[in-house]
Amino acid sequence: MPPNLLVLWAFLLLHVFAGAFRLDILKQNVEPQEGHVRLTGSESPAEGRVEVFHSGKWGTVCDDGWDMKEAQVVCRQLNFPGAKSVITGKSYKLASGPIWLDDITCNGNENNLVSCSFKGWGITDCTHKEDVGVACETGSSSLTNKTSTHSMDHSISLSNELGQLFDTATNCDLNILLQSPTGNRQKDDLPEMDGTTICAHKTILSLFPNFNVFPETTHITVEVRKPCHPYFSSLIRYLYTRKIDVTFSSALCLHQMAASFGVKQLMEDVGRLFTQVLPDDSTFYTQVSIYQYAVETNDKLLEENLIQYLAWNYQNLTSSPAWDDLPVELLQALLTRSDLVVPDEYFVLETLESWIIQRALLNGSDTVVGLLSHIRFPMIPAKKLLELESRSPLYKIYENVYREFALRAFQFNVLLFSDLLTNQSIKNESGNYSPRIYTALPWSKVLRESSKTSSYPYQIHGYGGYGGYGGQYYPNPSPYIQSTFTRPYNRYGGYGSISCSTCSKYVHNSSSQQFDVSRQNHKLGFKCL
């Protein structure tokens, strides 16, 4: 055998054994360690939702900022040769664990995903519908194995070719009569309609049952609002190519039509876009109307995004013209959230009472009691609780309700931490015994540089970091500012003291508070980003 051929066979054998060894490692049941990653939700071991192991739990990763660099790191960490693609918006099996990572940035040469930079464990503004997935290169385990499969993906060219098929109407077999009311009336008093005909392919549209296209169908009639008329052809073209350009002027129409015709992925992605292109409407009428539209179209993702936006802007919302007309269900949804950005809990109670009075709901006992039950009375200082009887406009009407909630708050503030851990009623209503994002003292403090450097203030709570909602950051703060403040005497039988140095951003780690049981000292955590 020629020497060159011997070298080639040796190389192929080495490649085969190396591939077999890698696959064997993947099949072993290894106990997960901190920072391990895995792919789940897919039948292929080389594709799936990215999950990372932290603090004894598997959690997902948000798709914000993901590209091939992050995908390469994940696939190499799993011993694959590399990454084929980043997958977003795909419905894998629903994840129930935490979202561990968000806004992660890799250079592409890291050995593991957690070596990349990210906000911090569990700090995210995403939902599980934004979990990222990847598809990894598997390589060929053997060039001589007749049963081996070599996947080739040329779907990008297929998308372009299908787009050309729609544009040229080649062999189209379905006429779509698109009608929109002009606002005028005909002589028979029927509404005047403006019509356009589009020729499409029934095979494509039959994939979406809401179009009601069957083998025998030759034409259908579709009615849309006049402002949406220009965007209908783009929607039909999207069904061919899965590509579409969306602007703020077209977003509402495309979302509405996608909802009507059951194009779920487009509906969800356009809904997510709403929160990025929301107009700067200080009246909040636009934001509230989009929320109501999300409820009507049953777009849960858009609904969640709007509620989150309003929660981060709650203080401005309460002073806006839209506040007095806020729907009850929207206010109730806001009051249940821990990411409500407010000065303190007493502010939430005052704004709720003001809203109830403006809506003339003083005697609507069920509604009022339901809303008051979402106020976190244990987070209100005892002195203000004692003043409720004289200061609250609703106290006399709902005296028994206020007394019950105030009693729970007093109990919470005087019981020892060891007793709180075993109190079943507190366990059952843990949400009401947790802080929100409070921006006033004693929950947060403004740091100021000396006049020699800058007069800009910095707030160490850092809640404005979520898209700028609820606070402000100023650029390039000095890394050498330090400040200490002490919380008032609290329910753990001690004083809490916090010392911080300023970096570019701070996040008040209210969702992961730490308790030192031995000293009964409540420590508020702040993280430097």
pLDDT tens string 384-425? 999 998 999 999 899 999 999 999 888 887 876 666 666 666
Interior angle at CA 284, CA 290 and CA 122, nearest 5: 70
Q: Is 458 among the domain residues?
A: no
Query: Which has the higher per-residue pLDDT, 526 or 75?
Result: 75
Same domain assignment for residues 108 and 175: no
Task: Identify the three-state secondary structure at position 56.
Answer: coil
d(CA 490, CA 368): 30
CATH number at 217 reads 3.30.710.10
> Can you give the pLDDT at residue 214?
93
Contact 525, 498 (CB under 8 A): no
Q: Of 43-47, 107-111, 285-289, 346-350, where does the model show the most confidence?
A: 346-350
Query: Which has the higher per-residue pLDDT, 457 or 203?
Result: 203
Backbone φ and ψ for 44, nearest 5 degrees, come out as -90, 130
d(CA 46, CA 75): 8
Domain that residue 407 falls in: 338-438
Backbone φ and ψ for 267, nearest 5 degrees, come out as -60, -45
Same domain assignment for residues 113 and 177: no
Local confidence band at 143 (pLDDT 50, 70, 90 cut-offs): very low
Same domain assignment for residues 108 and 155: no
- Lowest mean pLDDT: which of 37-41, 162-166, 458-462? 458-462
Q: Is 508 among the domain residues?
A: no
Residues ≥6 apart with Cβ < 8 Å to 402 = 372, 388, 389, 392, 394, 395
Same domain assignment for residues 402 and 345: yes
- Lowest mean pLDDT: which of 139-143, 262-266, 435-439? 139-143
> Can you give the pLDDT at residue 453?
45
Q: Is 55 among the domain residues?
A: yes
Same domain assignment for residues 360 and 434: yes
Which residue, 249, 277, 305, sits at the end of a domain? 277
Q: Is 506 among the domain residues?
A: no
pTM: 0.52
Q: Is 343 among the domain residues?
A: yes
Query: How many structural domains comprise the chain?
Result: 3
Same domain assignment for residues 80 and 111: yes
Q: In the numeric block, which tokens belong to residue 87?
A: 């997958």
d(CA 497, CA 477): 23
Same domain assignment for residues 224 and 108: no
Could you tell me the CA-to-CA distances from 112 to 61, 76, 195 in Å, in that order?
Answer: 14, 8, 57
Contact 481, 458 (CB under 8 A): yes
Q: Is 218 among the domain residues?
A: yes
Task: Report which residue type is found at 347.
Answer: F
Q: Is 450 among the domain residues?
A: no
Q: Is 298 among the domain residues?
A: no
Measuring CA to CA, which residue among 318, 331, 524 is closest to residue 437?
524
- Lowest mean pLDDT: which of 238-242, 291-295, 320-324? 291-295
Task: Identify the three-state secondary structure at position 72.
Answer: helix
**Rg of the Cα trace of the chain?**
29
> Can you give the pLDDT at residue 59?
93
Same domain assignment for residues 128 and 218: no
| Cis geometry, peptide bond prior to residue 378 (ω within 30 degrees of 0) | no
